[in-house]
Amino acid sequence: MQTAYDPAISSYYVNDGLYRKLVEDFTDWQREELVVTAPELRDHFRLLIEREARLLDELRFDDWLAMYAPECIYWVPGTPGGGDPRREIAISFDDRRRLEDRIFRLRTGYAWSQAPKSRTVRLVSNVEVFATREGAARMVRSNFLISEFRVDGTRFLSGWCAHRFVHSAERWQIQVRQVNLIDCDRNLRNPSIVL
Amino acid sequence: MPPMRIGGEYGSRPVERRMLEKLNASSIDSVERYDWDELVQEDRVHRLIYTDPAIFNLEMTNIFGAVWVYLGHESQIPANDDYITVRLGLRPIILLRDSHGKIRALFNRCAHRGTTLCRKDKGSARIFTCPYHGWSYLNTGKLRAVPWPDGYACDFKDAKYNVAQVPHVDSYRGFIFATLNPDAPSLLDYLGPITKPIDEWLDRQPKGRIRVCEANRLKYKGNWKLAYDNSGDGYHVVFSHRSLLEMENRQADVANKGMSYYKNSPDTAPMYIAYMGNGHHFKDKRPNIERRAGGLWAVEGPAPGSEHYAEALRRRFGAKAEDILDLASSEPVNINVFPNFSLLGNHIQVFEPISVDETDVTWYGTAVVDEDGTLDGAVGDINALRMRTQEQFPNFGEVDDLANFEEIQRGLACREDEWIYMHRGLGIPGRVKTHANGIITAPATDEVFMREYIKEWKRLMKATPKLAAQREP
Ligand code: FES
Ligand SMILES: [Fe+2]
């Protein structure tokens, strides 16, 4: 998608076309015949996902955002399986500008839900890479377990991620990350960290 | 034949209560020894009302049971046989539309030995079969069959084998409420003048209708009243939500997005808080917003797709687009119906107590419904945008309030510091106005709504309601 606008300032790319493609891309993509077995490629994506986890644990949000395509989506569905974000509320559905909002807010010093900040460690595993109909995109599934310590104890958030990577500017960039919490349709206490 | 009532002079728990009285047990005793007038005073309340499990226990009868409690919206059970599972206080409930179209709130409890009958969040069923021993019930609550009935000497036509249900279930324009109190006023009388802002909230939608579309589901470790105290609180906004206000104005040329009108001197602004009786209150921020087509959209914070949809709708509809865009914008009101229901922005917010120090707060999203094409095909666009504007506050605002509620609960562990103050505006001549219809208004940061609703709470806690479930005859 080529636009004359800075997606960090105005949001034009979140439109019918994007939603339609999003729902299509995130439906029925984990198919056996599409699994990529080449070790170098699997390893490459595994490293990217581990790096992302480390950057988030260390709150290095600028480096983290740099892993994303300029026109990206961070999507935490509130219904198992994702649902249709045009017709239903998600836990979070951020475009680039809202992701930058999210980070800006955490840095104001007045985000009481993150003052003091949570300390987290993320385990990511079971990385599987899937080809797509478009040559320049890969879907990656991984499982995660986030241990989050804050004020009165440690809790665990778990689930699985679907990353859609696109190849652009000679690297793989994250275009969409869908974070599927196993308890996404239950009431959650203080969901204020970036997952 | 009139429906059969369970329980007699002791209300819904006659056996439990008689036993406890005989034993002089502490759980019933301590509450009855409380001097409610000492706990709830004109300008302050005692910490115990937020921390004492015995008071919480009594609230689950005297409040969540004795008054009309919100259970769900009709769009969640649109067809006959549809159901959702909810709670009335701590009681698990199947809220359903039975096979004849009647809305009922069945206790989710098998008449045999108490197992919950339904474990799903939602679905469609004519019959509920108990997973434990296979008793099955029609969705009217009537017992349908028991396995191997030869082993019983009893008459299963006896009403006592039907599922118990909440006797009074009624809706107001799609919002379903229920009470176990035979002496409760009608729902319409209970709501009283708060129906006017509810009507206005609905009537800005095409045909006055909405559809519930999933939710932002949150939880905090704190007493449920901390959320109700907050629901009309105009005092906390610029402090508790400072990060949100800074965030949504970070790119604005003029910092007027969202709730910016709280800055400077909110008490002289035209917005106001109104106490509406029966514990209900209403914060009306609409007078702060320019009353014109597109006035709400102009102060809506940025959302994914804002620019695309605004331009596409303006290209297509010209000046008419402004009204359509207002439908994707937050309505600046907080309409709070005691004890557990709020309309704010475009959300239906529901408070559900779990224990004295744990509460679920669920922000149901609402979508516009346009069956007859008033919106000329724009309904899909406007809902796509409306989903994203609704996600903003729970993500970036509510989480900070909930963190502050938890910190209140922690602070209240200081037993020797007993009082919580709610006296802002009290004793200042001319500040609080009582109108002919009994409605009390005050400047937006005033705590008068807290003082008034907690008085109503006190009245209810002193009462001895005779709650009763009912069964089909
Ligand atoms: S508990 Fe339901 S059939 Fe026995
Ligand atoms: Fe708030």
Per the domain annotation, does A109 fall within a domain? yes
Contact B304 A113 (CB under 8 A): no
Q: Do B89 and B231 fall into the same domain?
A: no
Q: What is the pLDDT of residue B23?
A: 62
Closest CA relative to residue A134, chosen from A41, A52, A29: A29
The pLDDT tens digits of the residues spanning B310-325 come to 999 999 999 999 999 9
Per the domain annotation, does B451 fall within a domain? yes
Q: Give the residue numbers spanning the domain of A54.
A: 16-181
Query: How far from each other are the two terminal CA atoms of chain B, in whole angstroms?
Result: 7
Q: What are phi and psi of A105, to 5 degrees?
A: -60, -45
**Structural Rg of chain A based on CA atoms:** 16
Q: Do B419 and B293 fall into the same domain?
A: yes
Q: Which residues of chain B have pLDDT under 70?
A: 1-14, 16-17, 19-32
Please name the residues between 78 and 107 in chain A that touch chain B, using a CB distance below 8 Å: 78-79, 83, 85-95, 97-98, 101-102, 104-106
Q: Do B241 and B367 fall into the same domain?
A: yes
Q: Do B160 and B208 fall into the same domain?
A: no
Q: Do B392 and B244 fall into the same domain?
A: yes
Kindly give the distance from the C-alpha atom of residue A101 to the centroid of ligand 2, in angstroms, as a whole number.
18
Residues of B in contact with A79 (CB under 8 A): 214
Q: Is B144 in the pocket of ligand 1 (CB under 6 A)?
A: no
- Whether ipTM exceeds 0.90: yes
Per-residue pLDDT at A150 exceeds 80: yes
Q: Do B133 and B197 fall into the same domain?
A: no
Per the domain annotation, does A174 fall within a domain? yes
Per the domain annotation, does B55 fall within a domain? no
How many structural domains does chain A have? Answer: 1
Looking up residue A170, the CATH number of its domain turns out to be 3.10.450.50
Contact B391 A89 (CB under 8 A): yes
Q: Give the residue numbers spanning the domain of B421.
A: 193-458
Q: How far apart are CA B454 and CA B226, in angstroms?
A: 12
Per-residue pLDDT at A31 exceeds 60: yes
The pLDDT tens digits of the residues spanning B328-363 come to 999 999 999 999 999 999 999 999 999 999 999 999
Q: What is the pLDDT of residue B20?
A: 63
The answer to whether A131 and A141 have CB atoms below 8 angstroms apart is: no
Q: Do B104 and B199 fall into the same domain?
A: no
Q: Ligand 1 atom closest to Cα of B135?
A: 3
Distance of CA B251 to the CA centre of its chain: 34
Q: Do B158 and B284 fall into the same domain?
A: no
Q: What is the pLDDT of residue A133?
A: 85
The answer to whether B405 and B227 have CB atoms below 8 angstroms apart is: yes
Q: What is the pLDDT of residue B30?
A: 55
Per the domain annotation, does B50 fall within a domain? no
Q: Do B300 and B415 fall into the same domain?
A: yes
Q: Do B21 and B118 fall into the same domain?
A: no
The answer to whether A175 and A72 have CB atoms below 8 angstroms apart is: yes
Q: Is B130 in the pocket of ligand 1 (CB under 6 A)?
A: yes
Per the domain annotation, does A186 fall within a domain? no
| Facing A88 at nearest CB: one of B243, B307, B365 | B365
How many structural domains does chain B have? Answer: 3
Looking up residue B116, the CATH number of its domain turns out to be 2.102.10.10
Per the domain annotation, does A11 fall within a domain? no
